[in-house]
Amino acid sequence: MYPILPERPADAAQIDTLLDLTFGSDRTRKTVYRLREGVAHLKPLAFVVRDEDGGVLGSIRYWPVAIGDAGTPAIMLGPVAVHPDYQGQGLGRALIRHSLYTATRLGHGLCILVGDRPYYEPFGFVGAADRGLEMPGWVERERFQVMELAANALQGVAGMVGKPPKGRKKAAA
């Protein structure tokens, strides 16, 4: 298994190439990218897996978001990508486990994502729309998911997911 390491600024170009290879160059047209525009990803939750030569084989990032009229802080997982030649070896699952553990340790309370339900359910994600959350644009209902990183963090939280207020980066516990 390859070690999971903090993302470095020098990794950015390789990560963009990996994301294009994994998801296609039209990936930026998706709703989640509207929430990321103009918002920096959370550097303490950005990790990579590198090969022996320093090439990026896998990557995960998170973004700050706010939910509902109250602006409840949360984090949005994604994208997580693994080079096609290394998929099926557990690298993506390892990146997710490591980053969710780190997010919990850092005091984040809620995590949302848009992704394959059967892949993310084992980590503890559940249907977000079923719990009163909405996305600002079209997403497949069954792919929109949420996970409490802190007990009862979802209690009383409902509404539209949006960009965080300026200056707020951390999702409260």
Supply 79's token pair. Answer: 């994208």
Delineate the domains of the chain, giving CATH numbers in brackets.
4-162 (3.40.630.30)
34 three-class SS: helix
Supply 126's token pair. Answer: 């559940």
90 in Cβ contact with 64 (< 8 Å):
no
Taking the chain, what is the end-to-end CA distance rounded to the nearest angstrom? 32
- Over the stretch 147-165, which tens digit does the pLDDT of each residue have? 999 999 999 999 999 999 8
pLDDT of residue 30: 83
Residue 78's pLDDT band, with cuts at 50, 70 and 90, is very high
The β-bridge relationship of strands 144-148 and 126-127 is antiparallel
Query: Count of CB atoms within 10 A of residue 131's CB?
Result: 14
pLDDT of residue 172: 44
User: Residue 66: which H helix or E strand, with range?
Assistant: strand 56-67
User: Can the peptide bond before residue 79 be classed as cis, meaning omega within 30 degrees of 0?
Assistant: yes
Give the whole-angstrom CA distance, residue 57 versus residue 67: 32
**pTM for the full model?**
0.92
- Over the stretch 13-67, which tens digit does the pLDDT of each residue have? 999 999 999 998 778 788 888 899 999 999 999 999 999 999 999 999 999 999 9
Nearest CA to 44 out of 98, 110, 94 is that of 98
The β-bridge relationship of strands 159-162 and 56-67 is antiparallel
171, pLDDT greater than 70: no
Supply 173's token pair. Answer: 């516990």
